[in-house]
């Protein structure tokens, strides 16, 4: 079994030593303004802190797709739910637009304009949340000790700021260079979001990475501009918080990433990896699923799930090609897709079992599981690593493309572009992933790296939150680097000074020699004429 990094062990031991024997129960506010996997993660985080004896209340925005297609209501026995919802007429319009965006995502037509429009919706919703004086005053009266935020939605930071709470920022995706918490990551080996690069770059890759880094800064500025009117409306003129500054003020940044699957980044102590929170030892599968698996024999079965979005919209072309590909392989296929969205004229392949919901973690942990066909979501990939199951990725939008680049680079599986999902190629790729032992061995290696860490990711996050509570904040974990002006951060002032210090004497010397040369030339010309 692989051993954890020595520096990591020292860090963990130091954390444990700093912890008191019994941490006093704290009042924690978790903020979950999104649905799908975002909600699942915040639900698990809230539950983990409750299990350690803390009083947890979750602010949850309702009337968004909480967990589409899942019979899941959260762990309401663990934490109290505080709900907020946008006006009904707005929600109808917003949900229609969001459904259209989902369809465009599935067709590979997601544009930057659509992302900016989504941020604009977030800003509008944020304005209404902060405007709800009854909600915000009731939250302030709770006197929470700390907040844990879903950092994808900038509004979470504004809520914590309005409540005057210290906060931990949890980002549900992988580490991305250029993020305010990771601004010092070297562009020579840290791929930028959506660059689809690995950490091993040739010159042209590094050039692309730099250009995309500069472009991402423009996008970040544009995204933040949607929230500026909200900030000016709800905060005193003497206390205008910029989002960039609020990102830097986080006591701790926790990323849904793990060294087993992510490319290593140099990070400061206030940045931690907690990838794999939703991965757990598997439980036995019962009922129809167990009967179906038993009929697969030695061939085993494949788990197919392309996320909560794709399973709830019509995608006939993709479904037909995948279904025809599955019909050509000997394995059984357990496919998460809503029956009501399945084309009525499409006969489901004989080896395919279509279900509205699957216990994904338990299925991947089954000894007959052979492969995961996934959209490349971070949670699915981490569960595949936890259970050592190779993956075939069909990325659709967002960070899924970058996630699958990491999976390919680590040998966990292969990526198939949406346009390349043709039945014969799809079937042959599945066969290759199952029969080529290199993928299974790579998956087992990544599993060992992930599981050998001394503290599971969920407990790791709880310990760090308790550390911050015990120490009165996380300022001692932060680097002053992030608070420097950009020209000092990149030492441009030093470079300018050294450049001038070196070039100025050289310039003076050249000018002096030039003048001396002219004087000598005149002198010799005069002597010659005499």
Domain check: are 395 and 473 in the same one?
Answer: no
pLDDT on residue 312:
54
Q: What percent of the chain has pLDDT over 90?
A: 60
Lowest-confidence pick of 96-100, 159-163, 437-441, 461-465: 96-100
Instruction: Determine the average pLDDT of the residues in 438-449.
Output: 97
Q: How confident is the model at residue 220 (pLDDT cuts 50, 70, 90)?
A: confident
**H-run or E-run covering 102:** helix 88-106
- 337 inside domain: yes
What are the tens digits of pLDDT across the range 374-399? 999 999 999 999 999 999 999 988 88
pLDDT at 519 > cutoff 60: yes
Average pLDDT over residues 270-276: 93
**310 and 446 share a domain?**
yes
Query: How much is the pLDDT for 279?
Result: 95
pLDDT 10s digits, 231-257: 999 998 777 888 988 999 999 999 999
Same-domain check for residues 243 and 296 = no
Residue 411's domain spans which residues? Answer: 287-451
Residue 415 and residue 469 in one domain: no
**Any domain includes 198:** yes
Q: 15 in a domain, yes or no?
A: no
Do 208 and 309 belong together in one domain?
Answer: no
Residues 438 and 458 in one domain: no
Q: Does the structure show a pLDDT above 50 at 311?
A: yes
Mean pLDDT value across residues 28-48: 93
The answer to whether residue 326 scores a pLDDT higher than 50 is yes
pTM listed for this prediction: 0.87
294 shares its domain with 274? no
pLDDT-based confidence at residue 23 (cuts at 50, 70, 90): low
Spatial distance between the Cα atoms of 122 and 153, rounded to a whole number of angstroms? 7
Q: Residue 256: phi, psi to the nearest 5?
A: -80, 60
Question: What are 98's two structure tokens?
Answer: 């969001």
Query: What pLDDT is attached to residue 107?
Result: 63
Q: What is the pLDDT, as a whole number, of residue 184?
A: 66
Paired strand residues for 31: 59, 149
Averaged pLDDT for residues 309-331: 84
2 token code pair: 């692989």
Residues 238 and 352 placed together within one structural domain of the fold: no
Residues 142 and 189 in one domain: yes
Note whether residue 9 is domain-resident.
no
Cα separation of 337 and 307, whole Å? 9
- Over 70: is that where the pLDDT of 314 sits? no
| pLDDT tens column, 280-304 | 999 999 889 999 999 999 999 999 9
Tens-digit pLDDT profile for residues 99-116? 777 777 666 566 778 888
116: exposed, middle or buried (Cβ count in 10 Å: 0-12, 13-18, 19+): middle
> Does residue 350 lie in a domain region?
yes
Instruction: Check pLDDT > 60 for residue 21.
Output: no
pLDDT tens string 188-213: 888 888 888 888 899 999 999 899 88
Same domain, 241 and 212: yes
Q: What's the CATH code of the domain at 324?
A: 3.40.50.2000
Number of other residues whose CB lies within 10 A of the CB of residue 239: 8
Considering the domain architecture, whether residues 446 and 501 belong to the same structural domain is answered as no
CA distance 363 to 224: 41
CA atoms within a 13 Å half-sphere pointing along the CA-CB vector of 147: 26
Q: Are residues 403 and 499 in the same domain?
A: no
What's the total number of domains in the chain?
Answer: 3
Domain assignment present for residue 528? The answer is: no
What pLDDT score was predicted for residue 530?
A: 65
* SS3 sequence of 183-237: CCCCCCCCCECCCCCCCCCCHHHHHHHHHHHHHHHHHHHHHHHCCHHHHHHHCCH
Q: What is the pLDDT of residues 139-180, one digit of tens each?
A: 999 999 999 999 999 999 999 999 999 999 999 988 765 566
260, part of any domain: yes
Helix (H), strand (E) at residue 439: helix 437-451
**pLDDT of residue 521 exceeding 90:** no
Taking the C-alpha atoms of residue 353 and residue 349, their distance in angstroms, rounded to an integer, is 8
Residue 108 located in a structural domain:
no
pLDDT band of residue 67 (cuts 50, 70, 90) is very low
User: By three-state DSSP, how is residue 497 classified?
Assistant: helix
């Amino acid at each position: 079994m692989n051993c954890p990094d020595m520096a990591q062990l020292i860090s963990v031991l130091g954390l444990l030593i700093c912890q008191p024997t019994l941490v006093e129960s704290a009042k924690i506010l978790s903020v979950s303004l999104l649905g799908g996997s975002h909600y699942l993660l915040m639900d698990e985080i809230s539950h983990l802190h409750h299990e350690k004896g803390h009083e947890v209340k979750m602010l949850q925005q309702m009337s968004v797709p909480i967990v589409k297609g899942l019979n899941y209501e959260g762990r309401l026995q663990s934490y109290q739910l505080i709900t907020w919802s946008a006006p009904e007429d707005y929600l109808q319009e917003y949900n229609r637009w969001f459904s259209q965006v989902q369809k465009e995502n599935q067709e590979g037509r997601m544009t930057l304009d659509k992302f900016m429009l989504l941020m604009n919706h977030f800003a509008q919703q944020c304005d209404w949340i902060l405007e709800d004086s009854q909600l915000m005053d009731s939250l302030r009266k709770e006197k929470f000790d700390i907040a844990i935020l879903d950092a994808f939605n900038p509004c979470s930071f504004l809520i914590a700021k309005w409540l005057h709470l210290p906060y931990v920022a949890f980002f549900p995706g992988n580490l991305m260079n250029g993020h305010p918490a990771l601004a010092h990551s070297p562009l020579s080996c840290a791929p930028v979001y959506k660059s689809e690069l690995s950490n091993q770059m040739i010159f042209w890759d590094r050039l692309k990475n730099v250009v995309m880094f500069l472009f991402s800064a423009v996008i970040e500025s544009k995204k933040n501009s949607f929230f500026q009117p909200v900030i000016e409306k709800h905060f005193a003129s003497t206390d205008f918080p910029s989002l960039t500054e609020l990102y830097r003020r986080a006591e701790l940044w926790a990323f849904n990433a793990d060294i087993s699957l992510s490319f290593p980044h140099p990070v400061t102590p206030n940045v931690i990896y907690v990838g794999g929170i939703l991965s757990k030892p598997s439980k036995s599968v019962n009922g129809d699923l167990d009967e179906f698996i038993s009929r697969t024999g030695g061939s085993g079965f494949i788990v197919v799930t392309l996320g909560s979005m794709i399973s709830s919209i019509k995608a006939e072309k993709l479904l037909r090609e995948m279904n025809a590909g599955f019909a050509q392989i000997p394995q059984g296929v357990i496919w998460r897709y809503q029956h009501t969205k399945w084309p009525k004229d499409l006969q489901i392949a004989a080896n395919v079992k279509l279900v509205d919901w699957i216990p994904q973690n338990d299925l991947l942990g089954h000894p007959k599981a052979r492969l995961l066909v996934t959209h490349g979501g971070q949670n699915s990939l981490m569960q595949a690593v936890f259970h050592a199951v190779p993956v075939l990725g069909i990325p659709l939008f967002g960070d899924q493309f970058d996630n699958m680049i990491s999976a390919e680079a680590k040998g966990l599986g292969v990526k198939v572009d949406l346009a390349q999902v043709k039945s014969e190629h799809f079937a042959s790729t599945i066969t290759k992933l199952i029969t080529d032992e290199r993928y299974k061995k790579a998956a087992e290696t990544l599993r060992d790296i992930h599981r050998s860490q001394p503290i599971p990711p969920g407990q790791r996050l709880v310990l760090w939150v308790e550390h911050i509570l015990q120490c009165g904040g996380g300022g001692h974990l932060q680097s002053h680097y992030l608070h420097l002006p950009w020209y000092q951060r990149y030492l441009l002032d030093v470079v300018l000074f050294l450049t001038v210090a070196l070039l100025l004497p050289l310039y003076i010397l050249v000018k002096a020699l030039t003048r001396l040369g002219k004087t000598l030339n005149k002198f010799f010309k005069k002597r010659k004429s005499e």
